[in-house]
């Protein structure tokens, strides 16, 4: 199979879909890998390393997209890339289609086969291709939150851990999944007072055990969310209902009640955000203020630490890519029900229930389109 690895062109996105180690394994298995020049440079992988591993380096993105049978990316295609879509092209990347009708329409019209990292499942029913990036974003959310709390960034000038004689900051984490747990780890490490809110009581029990009572847990309801956000210096949003738009559990009225100079880092912004006042931002202009509250809502947070993120992401994606290359998309999807959950669009048909429900449009189960 011919596999194409274009350079990411989303604002400040420096990750890359395949590392030189991946290229070596693919070429050893008999596949051809086309890498756009400079694709891995910002992740610490220069063209020479890809070439040394057996890749063919191409100057133009258009050539990579046109010659490849499977395109491996990191972020969802942006408008400039829509022109490269064509019938039967396999696109293996994050798609985050639920809140973005335009991209869904474009993929359907061009009859692309779109396999979205974020909806692939493993045997434990977790989301193995979301996990590594959620680990990065969760840990990073505290780092950027601490920075936004500094006076110069518009924050209320609070040091997360306090100092002897001065109370630490209150950190409220919404969602106790991968993002929330990693955020909690780092925030506790900083010495902050951490409250974590989740709708899943079983998960709250687990977290209570894991953190040995150092973490305050609360059941998710509008009363608790209002109270915890009102008291917080830093709110981190990590709520997810897989494949659908995030529920906006922090309302505009709750934001208005927060302390002036408090900070919201809405990590869930890639699924629409769990805070009503959140809107997507980019690394070049990451934050804005509403009602005196600093909002940081970068949709591709791991892009800021591309070396770590590329290695973490490709560790998880590569085994699936190799199977797609070895067996072809149809057979690989047939053999692995978890990978099939990742199929969002197949040759003009929407195949993911969550995306369909978010956009209120019809869908067809994967088994039916694969035949």
Ligand X SMILES: NC(=O)c1ccc[n+]([C@@H]2O[C@H](COP(=O)([O-])OP(=O)(O)OC[C@H]3O[C@@H](n4cnc5c(N)ncnc54)[C@H](O)[C@@H]3O)[C@@H](O)[C@H]2O)c1
Q: In this chain, which stretch among 44-52, 155-163, 184-192, 246-254 interacts with ligand X, using CB under 6 A?
A: 246-254
C-alpha–C-alpha distance, residues 367 and 371, integer Å:
6
Query: Exactly one of 31, 96, 295, 352 is catalytic; which is it?
Result: 96
Q: Using the rule CB under 6 A, which residue among 240, 304, 316, 340 binds ligand X?
A: 240
Q: How far is the CB of 75 from ligand X (least distance, A)?
A: 10
Nearest one of 133, 130, 81, 76 to 345, comparing CA atoms: 76
- Looking at beta carbons, which residue is closest to ligand X? 177
CA dihedral 234, 235, 236, 238 (to 10 degrees): 170
Pick between residue 18 and residue 183 the one whose CB is nearest to ligand X: 183
Residues contacting 295, CB < 8 A, separation 6+: 263, 264, 266, 275, 277, 278, 279, 281, 287, 288, 289
Q: In this chain, which stretch among 28-36, 130-138, 153-161, 185-193 interacts with ligand X, using CB under 6 A?
A: 130-138
Q: How far is the CB of 136 from ligand X (least distance, A)?
A: 7
For residues 252-271, which are near ligand X according to CB under 6 A? 267-271
C-alpha–C-alpha distance, residues 15 and 300, integer Å:
10
Known catalytic residue at 283: no
Show the binding pattern over residues 154-193: x = contacts ligand X (CB under 6 A), - = does not: --------------------xxxxxxx-------------
Does 287 contact ligand X by CB under 6 A?
no
- Which pair of structure tokens corresponds to residue 30? 């008999």
Q: In this chain, which stretch among 39-47, 61-69, 199-207, 310-318 interacts with ligand X, using CB under 6 A?
A: 199-207
Interior/surface letters 279-316, b for 16+ CB within 10 angstroms, e for the rest: eebebeebbeebeebbbbbbbbbbbbbbebbbbbbbeb
For residues 291-310, which are near ligand X according to CB under 6 A? 298-302
For residues 307-326, which are near ligand X according to CB under 6 A? none
Residue 116 is classified by DSSP as E
C-alpha–C-alpha distance, residues 219 and 171, integer Å:
16
- Interface positions with ligand X (CB under 6 A): 118, 130, 133-134, 137, 174-180, 197-200, 203, 220, 238-241, 246-247, 249, 267-271, 298-302
Return the active site residues. 96
């Amino acid at each position: 199979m011919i596999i194409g690895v274009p350079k990411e062109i989303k604002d400040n996105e420096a990750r890359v879909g395949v590392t030189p180690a991946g290229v070596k394994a693919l070429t050893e298995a008999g596949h051809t890998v086309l890498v756009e020049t400079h694709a891995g440079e910002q992740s610490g992988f220069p063209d020479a390393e890809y070439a040394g591993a057996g890749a063919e380096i191409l100057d133009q993105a258009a050539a990579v997209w046109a010659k490849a049978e499977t395109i491996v990316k990191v972020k969802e295609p942006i408008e400039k890339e829509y022109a490269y879509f064509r019938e039967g092209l396999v696109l293996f990347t994050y798609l985050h289609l639920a809140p973005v009708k335009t991209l869904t329409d474009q993929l359907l019209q061009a009859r692309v086969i779109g396999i979205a990292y974020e909806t692939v499942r493993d045997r434990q029913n977790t989301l193995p291709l979301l996990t590594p990036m959620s680990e990065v974003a969760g840990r990073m959310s505290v780092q950027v939150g601490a920075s936004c709390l500094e006076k110069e960034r518009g924050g209320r000038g609070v040091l997360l851990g306090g100092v002897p004689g001065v109370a630490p900051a209150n950190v409220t984490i919404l969602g106790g999944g991968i993002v929330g747990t990693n955020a909690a780890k780092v925030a506790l490490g900083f010495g902050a007072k951490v409250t974590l809110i989740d709708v899943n009581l079983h998960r709250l029990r687990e977290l209570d055990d894991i953190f040995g009572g150092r973490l305050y847990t609360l059941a998710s309801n509008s009363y608790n969310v209002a109270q915890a956000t009102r008291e917080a210096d830093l709110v981190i949003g990590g709520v997810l209902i897989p494949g659908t738009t995030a529920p906006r559990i922090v309302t505009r009225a709750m934001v208005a009640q927060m302390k002036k100079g408090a900070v919201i880092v809405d990590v869930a912004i890639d699924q629409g955000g769990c805070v009503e006042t959140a809107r997507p931002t980019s690394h070049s202009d990451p934050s804005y203020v509403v009602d005196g509250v600093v909002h940081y809502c970068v949709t591709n947070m791991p892009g800021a630490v591309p070396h770590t993120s590329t290695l973490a992401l490709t560790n998880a994606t590569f085994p699936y890519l190799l199977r797609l290359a070895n067996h072809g998309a149809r057979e690989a999807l047939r053999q692995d029900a978890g990978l099939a959950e990742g199929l969002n669009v197949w040759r003009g048909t929407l195949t993911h229930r969550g995306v369909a429900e978010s956009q209120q449009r019809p869908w067809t189960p994967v088994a039916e389109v694969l035949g």
